[in-house]
Amino acid sequence: MWSLVAFLLLPVVWAQTTTIPFVPAQPCPTCSSRNYVGKNNGTLPKATVRKGKVFDYYIEIMMENQDPNIVDTLSAYEAIAKKGIMLTNTFSLTHPSEPNYLASWSGSFWGAADDDFHAVPENIMTMTDLLEDKTISWASYQENMPTDGFTGMNFTQANYVNVSGPPEIYYMRKHNPHILHDSIANNPQRRMRVRNFEDFAADITADRLPQYNWVTSNMRNDAHDTNAAYSSSWLNFWLLPLLEDKRFNRERTLIMVRFDEDATDGGPNKVAAFLLGSAVPEHMYGSVDNTFYTHYSSLSTMEANWGLDCLGRGDTNATLANVFDLVANQIGYKNVDVSDKEITSFGFNISGSTPGPFNPNPDLVTPFPPPNSHAKCPGGGKVIGIQNNGSGHGNGDGNGNGKGSGNESGKGSGNGNGKGSGNESGKGSGNGSGKNNGKGGKGNGH
């Protein structure tokens, strides 16, 4: 028995203590590199800036699968903590990766419990809609992605670490939250904002980084195929120099570094997380924030900061979506005090128990639920979880009362005068949660 236990534990211990020599994929963070198959495809237009209450720019960097007690002892993370705030009570939502990336953009992981191909339908709103509605520019930078807006599951390329080694997969769709949503993947303008690191180099050189930026580094650099120490080396190489670059860490920039989940299924699923950047005042350098946060806190914080509408999902679950204290304290937003016992009761360490459209257990598959139209938006706006413009699923009641299409559900919204004709469902009714209230359904039923 003991030998079996030792055998099972060995790989974990090995992974965390073995030194894997760091090989950067590029000469410098803003340099072009021959190691990338994906070439630069132009730069983004210069962003207009919509000022936020506490920050104007936001950069999120997601790392992979490590425990905070290991992460916090590594040099890059120590350096980051010294230049920012360590968030000591931040939790992932579930296992494995993909559900956490889904939740980080549409406010739900939709019951997903694997890294399979999942695509959130076009009529489900995401942060992209909230940002674009307020003309806040955004981009997703995905290292080693071969073409902008690439929709493939993964990409295999020549091995840049060991040139005589076999080809490797450095990019995977499951770590790209934006492309998991069809409202982005199927929209050419939006897809162009899902970019690679050659584009990052070009955008930053031209001083064109948008207001919102997501960064996923490759499968080695984000610790997924390596270990926590390797990710620290990558951050020392990539992030720390960029902090000194005024095209990256501009005035009023908030930078978040966090992990998608902890190292072991069944562990508490607490993750290391840090806030830094010029939006953090110097007197808070090296400080610790013990407030309970999850991936949804990043959504609620953006909503509160920029006065956005909201999705009426995890982003408005007050318990799960405390706004970062840095922001909450400055704008008078009241966070919820959540006990350790309550946190444990949420079962963040359990995969597959949450019903939803992507749950692998047929007994737990549900339709896409409508958003909570009565939710209070952290930014004071309105709930727009589903876009009801009557297209999509064949609706419209044909009576001129735009009832939209809802979630295909009978939850359609909009009180406008629709042009609907035909029905197919004829179920739309009620008001409240759609994006295009007042416009009503266009109706494309028969």
Ligand X SMILES: *[C@@H]1O[C@H](CO)[C@@H](O)[C@H](O)[C@H]1NC(C)=O
In the list 389, 396, 404, 443, the residue contacting ligand X (rule: CB under 6 A) is 389
CB 349 within 8 A of CB 269: yes
Residues numbered 119-158 forming contacts with ligand X, rule: CB under 6 A: 122-123, 147-148, 152-154
Chain centroid, CA 348 distance in Å: 17
- Terminal CA-CA length for the chain: 66
State how far the Cα of 145 lies from the Cα of 154, in Å rounded to an integer.
8
Residue 278 engages ligand X in binding (rule: CB under 6 A): no
Residue 355 engages ligand X in binding (rule: CB under 6 A): no
Q: Helix, strand, or coil here: 301?
A: helix
Q: CB 30 → ligand X: shortest distance, Å?
A: 19
Binding mask 155-174 for ligand X (x = CB under 6 A): -------x-xxx--x-----
Q: CB 289 → ligand X: shortest distance, Å?
A: 21
Active site residue 262: no
Residue 322 engages ligand X in binding (rule: CB under 6 A): no
Residue 114 engages ligand X in binding (rule: CB under 6 A): no
Closest CA to 350 of 92, 66, 64, 95: 95
In the list 192, 243, 284, 331, the residue contacting ligand X (rule: CB under 6 A) is 192
Cβ closer to ligand X: 127 or 280? 127
Q: CB 445 → ligand X: shortest distance, Å?
A: 6
In the list 32, 205, 330, 415, the residue contacting ligand X (rule: CB under 6 A) is 415
In the list 297, 387, 395, 433, the residue contacting ligand X (rule: CB under 6 A) is 387
Strands (E), 160-216: 168-172, 194-196, 212-216
Tokens of 280: 């953090």
In the list 190, 224, 411, 439, the residue contacting ligand X (rule: CB under 6 A) is 411
Residue 241, preceding peptide bond in cis (omega within 30° of 0): no
Binding mask 331-350 for ligand X (x = CB under 6 A): -------------xxxx-xx
Residues numbered 56-75 forming contacts with ligand X, rule: CB under 6 A: none
In the list 43, 151, 287, 319, the residue contacting ligand X (rule: CB under 6 A) is 319
CB 416 within 8 A of CB 392: no
CB 359 within 8 A of CB 105: no
- # residues contacting ligand X (CB under 6 A): 49
State how far the Cα of 141 lies from the Cα of 176, in Å rounded to an integer.
9
Residue 156 one-letter amino acid: T
Residue 438 one-letter amino acid: G
Residue 376 engages ligand X in binding (rule: CB under 6 A): no
Give the angle 212-223-361 at the CA atoms, nearest 5°.
85
Residue-by-residue DSSP string for 238-296: HHHHHHT-TTTS-TTEEEEEEESS-SSTTS--EEEEEEESTTS-GGGTTEEE---EEHH
In the list 407, 418, 433, 439, the residue contacting ligand X (rule: CB under 6 A) is 407
Dihedral sign of CA atoms 9, 14, 15, 17 in order: positive
**Identified catalytic residue from 56, 203, 225, 340:** 225
- Applying CB under 6 A, which part among 230-238, 255-263, 300-308, 388-396 lies near ligand X? 388-396
Q: At what angle do helices 75-82 and 228-243 cross, to 10 degrees?
A: 40
Residue 189 engages ligand X in binding (rule: CB under 6 A): no
**Active-site amino acid positions:** 225
* Binding site residues, ligand X, CB under 6 A: 39, 41, 122-123, 147-148, 152-154, 162, 164-166, 169, 183, 192, 267-268, 317, 319-320, 344-347, 349-350, 367-370, 387, 389, 391-392, 398, 407-409, 411, 415, 422-423, 426, 430-432, 442, 446
